[in-house]
Structure 1
Amino acid sequence: MPLTKYPPTVEWGTPLDRTAGVRVKQDQTMPRAAGSRATLLVAILATVLSATATQAAADPMLAWVRQVGTSADDLGMGVSADGLGNVYISGYTYGSLGGPNAGGADAFLTKYNAAGTLLWSRQVGTSANDYAYGVSADGLGNVYVSGSTWGSLGSPNAGSNDAFLTKYNAAGTLLWSRQVGTSADDLGMSVSADGLGNVYISGYTYGSLGGPNAGSYDAFLTKYDAAGTFLWSRQIGTSGDDRSLGVSADGLGNVYISGLTTGSLGGPNAGAYDAFLTKYDAAGTLLWSRQVGASASDISYGVSADGLGNVYISGYTGGSLGGPNAGSYDAFLTKYNAAGTLLWSRQVGTSASDESYVVSADSLGNIYISGRTDGSLGGPNAGGIDAFLTKYNAAGTLLWSRQVGTSGDDRSLGVSADGLGNIYISGYTQGSLGGANAGGYDAFLASYGEPILATSPAGGGTLQFGYVLVGQTATRSLSATNNGGVGSQLNGTFPAASGEFAPGATSAFGPLARGAGASRNYTYTPAARGADSLSVTVTSDDGNSTLALSGTGVAPQQQTTLLSNAGLVRIGTSGAAQIRVTNAGDGNLSGLGAVSNLRGDIALLAGSPPEFTGGTAVNLADGASQTYTYTYTPTAHGPQQATVRADFLNGSSDGANLPEILDVIISGQGVGPVFDSSTPPGGTIDFGAVILGGNALRQLAVSNASTDPNGGNPALTNLTLLAAELSGPDAALFSLIGFSAGTVIGQGAASFFDISFSALGPVGAKSAVLTLTTDEGAPFGEQGATFAFNLTGLSVPEPATMGLLLGGLASLARRQWRRARAA
């Protein structure tokens, strides 16, 4: 059966005309209350649905319903949310909704805020019939309305129906109106502002608007700029019936139109009416056209581009487009990518008639279709025809379906998701959806509030604990907020944590009203140094948000290194053994306070040889090092060692930030010269009897008997003869020959010199002491040990003198012997 070319006149149950989404006959007029044309009463009712509709009260997502009408017929056709918290509905009225009725049907535009408060209503018309079908808010504070007029709204009527486009600002001021037409019928069915300052209207014409007419109705697309300047018009058609019923600009410079054709626009006709989708660029160049259908009628009313390169069309089919037909007409939704590739198609229906008239893709990846059902799509049918709203995700999964209605006729002809959790449907009702029916058909606007889960950190983000000392605990808060629509409530569950993160159990939250939030504290207690991460998911009835818990365990970490032993140390001097302690934290301890310092003591263990001395406390910041010196002062030849104990209060070397005790062995070896002489020190060098006036010599050999290693440094073991001193009563009779102060004697070497005794009077025994000063037991070349030798000699007379002396002595001895015997 052919579709009418006229705006809607009522006959339910026959093929559909998009102009009102109702069944029509050309020879009928829209029923209206008798005598109401001159004195129609505005009845704008702002009552939430729960006050008047039992079915709405049972739907927790339905935030509010507003019903507006007069005693005549008032039909809501299109709806557009501006993303700024406002929503507009367009339609037509036979009464006075926003001003006095100019005659017949007048177009109207009504603005609400997100809470459902009516802000203003505007009515525009001529003495003829003027129908508003499409509405589009540009997000910049402006709103556009498209439709058809038998009169002159923007310029003289070209004949029959002309398409029109009207622009209002946010205050409801009419900025301009444009009218385009031919002598035949031209209807502007849909409008889309691209957010770039341009606006597109699409519809169908019996004449030539953008090219020669191909036969019967052709689809057209016309572009204006923000000032209302006509930029271009395109016409597409076949010899059959081709109508564009929807238009959507993607904000990327492209625009799509959808509709119906009995010909072949994008492929061979499958039978009866097929749905089509055509893409143009900003210059009006046709990029591609696609056609989809079954052997029965398939009609696309709505089209919506998601701004991500995808486009969706919705409508209804008498066949099977996305699944088996449930009976009569089923609603369908089909997704294409930017290249025109069909990605998926979904079909939803009951055994009765189910028709989708509009589609809206939001910025969150969701797609909504709405329309009418004679069955039960989202709840029990309230009687007759109900409006429905169905949600899909980007993958084509049906998420939910809602149904609203009265015992009368209720249809949704518009849907708009604002990306803020509010989904609006518009249409008309014979009953009372949002207030008492004013008479005939009333326009309605319903707002559904979806919860939107927003976590902080956001999904895909990280709850960062930062750097935490091993063994200590840091706390961070994970929050969930309902950023959804008016009336929405969010329920969900905070996840359990594990490992170094806690708590280990889930925790439910909600219901959270719009704007309300909940939070939960998580802790991080690292057991060792290094990064830790855990993926967790906050679940909710809006979906899930997966994020990471992340932290890094840091700790002071002792690194104790023996830098050097004392090595070979000459007796009488001091050497040093050195130990370096480093706080090898990973450079991330700053700001964590003194507790992050490496603390403890490093000292010689009790019982270590007294030749080693040293020890102090350790208190090192992150990355700092300190060298600890232990002095070694040997007093004897040979190796020695001592134990240094590092007793750390924290900063264990395994990164666990535990106490740790570490013993380090340090060592040294006492070396030096060993004095030796041909006459042992303390011995006597005897010169015997020397005739008066004579001299006697004796040789003294001094050697270095050291066998110590010197590591290539002879100064460690060389012996230096620093001085020689003669003392005693007869020191003047002795002298040294060949002695040189400062003589250095290497290991195994010797130095020789003579000692002279001069026999001077008087006759008798003579004595003295020779003292040698060396650097043994002292730094090389410095005064050290001394060694003494006794020197003895006898001064005797000449030999003749000696004989007389001896004879006299013998005679004296004999006389004494005789006396003794006589006695």
Structure 2
Amino acid sequence: DGASYIAGTTDGALAGQALSGASDALLAKYDSNGSLQWVRLLGGTNAAEAKGACTDPFGGIYIAGKTDGIFDGHALLGSVQGFLAKYDAAGTLQWSRTMGGTISAEFRGCATDAVGHVYALGVARGTIRGYATVGFEDLLLAKYDRFGNEILAAHFGEVSRTMNPLAISFDGTNLQVAGSVNGSVAGQVFLGNLSDGLWQRYSPMGAVLATKLIGVAGGDTELYGAQSGTDANTYLAGTTTGNLDGELHSGNGVYDVFFTSYDSFGTRRFTKLIGGPSSVVALKGLALDSSDNACLAGLANGPINGVSPGGTASAFMISFSSAGSIRYTKFAQGDPAGASAFFGVAADAAGNCYGAGYVQGAELAGVPLAGLIDAVLVKYDANGDNK
């Protein structure tokens, strides 16, 4: 139906929805014209935060996150535990599930497959479902059917390693995971200082099929998205502090955004770096449209690709073609008194890019603030025009 969904957290009552705890998970639906359809809050005795959202082919909407209290009637296991909740298109809660252990666990994102299974990605410490984690923090992968029945809970880690998974997608056959790690894993040599980008493929039953590290000598690299295109190529996006694959860093000593692609044989097709000589850049997500054009979203406090932000820090959207050429670079914030950021991104079949995040300090695109920090959803067409 062309609807868009955003997920996050709020510390106040919103759109007629009462707050349950110190903060609640938030899910909102907008129609294709950007009109708000409904808002739902879900929480418990303390704080709850939705970290990601996904939809299934049957009209289900899922939010994944973490909580440090009793959540929707589920007892707390450990200091923090992950949660997954399902809503229908009308905003009716279908079910919620939590996953915790002896120390801590959280979910950071989710993905679904063609038959309605939902996969929640996160991290865990301690013993989860009877299995002890191996590293300081292990990658956690949980699978449920669309009725909320738990199918598996798997984890991946190595001694002394901190796994930092940040994004998950389903490529039609297997799962793609993107993030970072602080050392060598699965026989892959670590190149960086504090982190290398982590790219993994998992089977639907949680088996590790492939692991690759992407890094620069003495620098730090993270991946924020891994997506398979209709062309059978894989597209990755992240940030790095150094030269990568022959592409020169902007030289500011902090992060540049990079966009890279590999074919089905694992051969790199291209790598592109974007930054600014005085800019601090943070990437937060990657999405592909049906033509494999890429949408990269995040925030920056200075120029990117020759385009300047209007605010002290501004949400940005960068679009690439499937061949790696830049289609456009756009900043959302136009008021120097304001600040904004995108923390989520999506794309549709028409080539539109959607950025979801927050705005504070000043209105954005003519829409006045309602609170101290407001949630925001911005749509860009194939030309980069704000719709």
Question: How many Å separate the matches in 1 of 2:157 and 2:176?
Answer: 15
CA offsets, 1:653-705, max 9 Å, x none? xxxxxxxxxxxxxxxxxxxxxxxxxxxxxxxxxxxxxxxxxxxxxxxxxxxxx
- The verdict on how the C-alpha distance between 1:269 and 1:369 changes in structure 2, with shifts beyond 3 A counting, is same
Residue matched to 2:106: 187
Cα drift, residue 308 of structure 1: 4.3
Q: Distance in 1 between matches of 2:69 and 2:231?
A: 40
Aligned AA (2:11): Y
Distance, in Å, in 2 between the alignment partners of 1:414 and 1:290 is 24
Q: In structure 1, what residue type is equivalent to 2:340?
A: D
The answer to whether the Cα contact below 8 Å between 2:102 and 2:127 also exists between their aligned partners in 1 is no
CA contact under 8 A between 1:312 and 1:336: conserved in structure 2? yes
Residues 339 and 149 (structure 1), Cα distance of their counterparts in 2 relative to 1, 3 Å cut:
farther
Cα separation, partners in 2 of 1:140 and 1:240, compared to 1, 3 Å:
same
Give me the whole-angstrom Cα distance separating, in 2, the residues matched to 1:120 and 1:193. Answer: 23
Report the equivalent of 1:390. Answer: 318
The answer (yes or no) to whether the contact 2:57–2:116 under 8 Å persists in 1 is: no
**1:773-795 deviations in Å (ceiling 9; x for gaps):** xxxxxxxxxxxxxxxxxxxxxxx
Q: Using the alignment, how far apart are the partners of 1:213 and 1:132 within structure 2?
A: 24
1:142, distance to aligned residue in structure 2 (A): 1.4
User: In structure 2, how many angstroms separate the alpha carbons of the residues matched to 1:206 and 1:333?
Assistant: 31
Aligned counterpart in structure 1 of residue 190 of structure 2, from 247, 269, 272: 269
- Are positions 1:426 and 2:345 aligned together? no
- Please identify which structure carries the higher helix content: 1
The separation in 1 between residues aligned to 2:201 and 2:210, in whole angstroms, is 5
Is the contact made by 2:315 and 2:331 (CA closer than 8 Å) also made in structure 1? Answer: yes
In structure 1, C-alpha distance between the alignment counterparts of 2:173 and 2:9, rounded to whole Å: 31
Letter in 2 for 1:132: A
Per the alignment, do residues 196 and 338 of structure 1 end up closer, same or farther by CA in structure 2, a change over 3 Å counting?
A: farther
Partner of 2:86: 167
User: Equivalences for 1:346-745 in 2 at 5 Å?
Assistant: 346-351=272-277, 352-377=279-304, 379-405=307-333, 406-407=335-336, 408-430=338-360, 431-434=362-365, 435-450=367-382, 487=387
- Normalising by structure 1, report the TM-score: 0.44
Distance 1:102 1:314, change over 3 A: same
Q: For residues 219 and 88 of structure 2, what CA distance do their matches in structure 1 show?
A: 43
- Between the two proteins, the alignment pairs up a number of residues equal to 371
1:233-244 alignment, distance < 5 Å? 233-238=153-158, 239-244=160-165
SS of 1:152's equivalent in the other structure is: coil
CA distance in 2, matches of 1:107, 1:244: 20
Q: Which of these residues, 144, 150, 157, is aligned with residue 76 of structure 2?
A: 157
- The separation in 1 between residues aligned to 2:385 and 2:369, in whole angstroms, is 27
Task: Provide the secondary structure at the position in 1 that maps to 2:132.
Answer: coil
What is the distance in 2 between the residues matched to 1:152 and 1:349?
A: 43
Q: How many Å apart are 1:338 and its aligned residue?
A: 4.1
Q: 1:321 to 1:159 in 2, by over 3 A?
A: same
Q: CA deviation at 1:195?
A: 3.0
CA distance in 1, matches of 2:269, 2:75: 45
Of residues 311, 314, 321 in structure 1, which corresponds to 2:237?
A: 314
Are the aligned partners of 2:54 and 2:112 in contact in 1 as well (CA < 8 Å)? Answer: yes
* Distance 1:486-1:347 versus aligned 2 partners, 3 A rule: closer
Aligned to 1:321, the other structure's residue is in SS state coil
TM superposition shift of 1:340 = 4.0
Work out the CA distance in 2 between the residues paired with 1:370 and 1:125.
28
Check if 1:330 corresponds to 2:251.
no
2:95 pairs with 1:176? yes
Please give the per-residue CA displacement for 1:355-378, whole angstroms capped at 9, x wherever unaligned: 211000111121111111111226
AA aligned opposite 1:334: T
Residues 57 and 115, structure 2, Cα contact 8 Å, conserved in 1: no
Sequence identity, in percent?
A: 31
Give deviations 1:753-789, integer Å, cap 9, x for gaps.
Answer: xxxxxxxxxxxxxxxxxxxxxxxxxxxxxxxxxxxxx
Contact 1:256 1:278 in 2 (8 A): yes
Structure 1 regions of 5+ residues with no counterpart? 1-83, 452-483, 488-823
Report the alpha carbon displacement of residue 146 of structure 1 after superposing the two structures with TM: 0.4
Contact 1:149–1:164, Cα closer than 8 Å, also in 2: yes
Give the residue type in structure 1 aligned to 2:46: A
Pick aligned residue for 2:144 from 184, 209, 224: 224
Aligned CA distance change for structure 1 residues 412 and 97 (closer, same or farther; 3 Å) = same
Higher-Rg member (1/2): 1
Tell me the CA shift for residue 486 of structure 1: 8.9
Equivalent of 1:292 in 214, 219, 224: 214
Deviation per residue, 1:58-117 (Å, 9 max, x gap): xxxxxxxxxxxxxxxxxxxxxxxxxx3010000000011251111211101000011001
Give the superposed CA RMSD: 2.0
TM-score computed with the length of structure 2 as normaliser: 0.91
Q: Which has the higher mean CA deviation after the structures are superposed, 137-146 or 88-97?
A: 137-146
Unaligned runs of 5+ in 2: none
Aligned mates of 2:291, 2:226 — CA distance in 1: 17
Q: Counterparts of 1:148 and 1:309 in 2: how far apart (Å)?
A: 33
Displacement after TM superposition at 1:125 (Å): 0.7
Letter in 2 for 1:247: I
CA distance in 1, matches of 2:89, 2:11: 25
Amino acid at match of 2:44: T
1:113-128 aligned within 5 A: 113-128=31-46
Distance in 2, Cα, partners of 1:180 & 1:231:
13
Q: Does the 8 Å CA contact 1:104/1:128 hold for their aligned counterparts? A: yes
1:89 partner amino acid: I
Question: What CA distance in whole angstroms lies between the structure 2 residues aligned with 1:428 and 1:293?
Answer: 30
Query: In 1, distance between residues paired with 2:260 and 2:231?
Result: 16
Amino acid at match of 2:9: Y
Q: For residues 229 and 69 of structure 2, what CA distance do their matches in structure 1 show?
A: 36
